[in-house]
Amino acid sequence: MSAISQYASHVSGNESGLFAVVCTSRLSPQARNAMEKSAESMGYGKEGVVFISVDAGNNALTPKEMFELIEAVDPLSVVLTGAECIQLFAQAYRVNVPNQPAFRVFGREIRSIANMNELMETPEGKQIAWAALKTLPHIGS
């Protein structure tokens, strides 16, 4: 059984997407839409996003499970959309997540946005999120 099918309740969107969004089940529709539009504008395609929920129902991923799932999906870019996701990622990859939104782990571009839902509530917040996201690799450019 593959890790993706083993953790199917935690995965939505395109399982082979190169743009992974690690989120909680509380990711707002506005934030989810922003991730999809950002991925599309950077060349990952309209359906190029895989969402990995760290807390599907009452079944939360452990750090080991998160590591297995991200490695199975094997995205080019990973966006961490909340403090809970950032903390779990740090444990899963045994790294100290810097206090800046952009860093690399295992050759992947990682962007950490601790308060994605809140940022989607104001035009200024949206600009802050976009400033971090637009630094991800663009496909085909």
Give the Cα separation of 16 and 65 in Å (integer).
18
In a domain, 80, yes or no: yes
Q: Secondary structure of the chain: what % helix, strand, coil (to 5)?
A: 40, 25, 35
Question: pTM (2 decimals)?
Answer: 0.94
Closest CA to 132 of 91, 95, 86, 79: 79
In a domain, 88, yes or no: yes
The domain tally of the chain equals 1
In a domain, 140, yes or no: no
Q: Domain range spanning residue 37?
A: 3-133
User: For 9-63, how does the pLDDT look when each residue is reduced to its tens digit (9 = 90+)?
Assistant: 999 999 999 999 999 988 999 999 999 999 999 999 888 999 999 997 778 999 9
Give the CATH number, domain containing residue 66.
Answer: 3.40.470.10
In a domain, 138, yes or no: no
Closest CA to 65 of 80, 54, 49, 76: 54
Asked whether 20 and 73 are in contact (CB, 8 A), the reply is yes
In a domain, 25, yes or no: yes
pLDDT number for residue 1: 64
